[in-house]
Structure 1
Amino acid sequence: MYEWNEMVQFMVDWVDGDLATVPSLLTMSEQLGYSPYYCTKQFHSLTGMTLRDYIWQRRISRAALELRDTDARILDIAVKFGFSSQEALTRAFVKAFKITPYAYRKAPRPIPLAIRSEVFSPYHYLIKERDKMRQVHLQEAEIKIERIPAHKFIGIWDVEVSDYGQFWGNGHDCDEVSGTLESMSHHTLPGQLGQTAGWFYQNGQKGYLYGIPVAEDYNGEIPEGMQVREIPESEYLVFFHPPFDYLKDNGEVMRTVEQVAWSYNPESMGYQWDEDSKQDYQRHFPEGYGYAVLRPVKKLPIEE
């Protein structure tokens, strides 16, 4: 039933593997064993865009990051990502972002980059492999202390939802939000991982947030539809699981960490929760970092 999720993910992998020399649709279809027409139809069905548009959007977005982060010549960047000339890159860049490559390099601003499509999830993997699944013992969540300095957080706070799936299902465009935040990744607060989710409390109600932590003195542009909030310096209890196989173990790892995080009593470590003016953070980078829930704490008052 979900065979095409995996097939289309293979196509995405081939595209992102080398954007300058992407295999032709004919080559991809021969590898997958289906007609070019059927492959492109399924790609459009699962990603919401044609294969040609996906390649174009990924090329122009990766070129934008090169312009922002390197001193490479614009012509060299154009060639690297499959554009026939500097002029061709400029036309595509203006069409996508309403700014020239030269102007963007001189003054980078938030732009809606196209992010990599992910259509083969842990759910699809479970369906495919359920007859082969074996019980895997995962280690218990580690608990440690981390101090995060005062900073600003740019993003979206939604009090109507309380988890990742509900958040994106409540009118927020995942591709647009994530792509725009990716264009701001060079502003990420040092020591943090970039795009971050989490929870906040408003009038006793728990909501969900998504955005990026930046330095306390950030005074740049705030993307349309997002807000910026100041977050005080704080210690956090970090409930952490190290890197894991996303497709195989994601659900179990998240359950293991969150079960501990939401039931833990910090008094055993001399702390109490401090979530009235601060927010909880959720770090999810399976193969590079792992998974963690961070909850702000403060020292228990000293009894006289």
Structure 2
Amino acid sequence: MNPVQKALWYVEHHSRKGISLEQVARASCVSPYHLARTFTEVFGLSLMRYVRLRRLSKAAKQLSDGASDILSLALDYGYGSHEAFSRAFKKEFGVTPESVRTLADHSLLPLMEPITMSETQLLKLNPPRVEMLPVMSFAGLVERYQSKSSAGIPNQWQRFSALLENMLPLIEQDAYGICFNFDEEQGEFDYMAGVPVHKNAEIPLGLIRFDLPPQKYAVFHYGGHISEIRSVIAAIWSEALSKSGYEPAEGPAFEKYGPEFDGQSGHGGFEIWVAIN
């Protein structure tokens, strides 16, 4: 059973209590950072948001069945007061707990049902190689994304490609997609579409400089189509990294696209670099 499966089991069996990321991580036998990244990469939402949604969804079903005491229900699901529970409930579902109980119907609410996952869903990847990178400087476009809504990244690359002519000559032909400033609670991250530049290079207007600190990386190569990148990343974080015996370090991870990658067809393969301790 991989860490994500363990986390799903733990949440389902403890969601009536006020559980924390640290508690779920201990039960999943990985660090809180590893679990938070894994869950977000696999499912597109943060673990703690999933915990809140499952808790509120279970409460909504009890309300529609006629729960008599909303305060007791709020306390059962880890909320300290009727007011705190009502605020969270209305923020998520757009209606009050009282209205659901009065109507005795939760069918129109966007409830979160339990997520199930099988290891057969994951891609099988070759073991990574390990590389140590020195300090590197990049220039590129940066956007903030939620993991569940990162569909704008291809368009970001198109916009960046149009600016590359102002950056010639390049240090190398490789391009990098760098993920950093990961928010464990919200499942958000900054993404740079960029290329390496000299440390003191002048950055063209509209682009941002990013300095990558020295770090050891586990490097996973994948020779398939770029459309499979989310599946590759999910397989790395949920299974391949742990099986390789490496623990992720808190820091940027990135995609690397070499000269063999064809941005027009999406073929040629790519690499995923994960910072490790």
TM-score, normalising length: structure 2: 0.43
Higher RCO by CA contacts (8 Å cutoff, separation 6 or greater)? 2
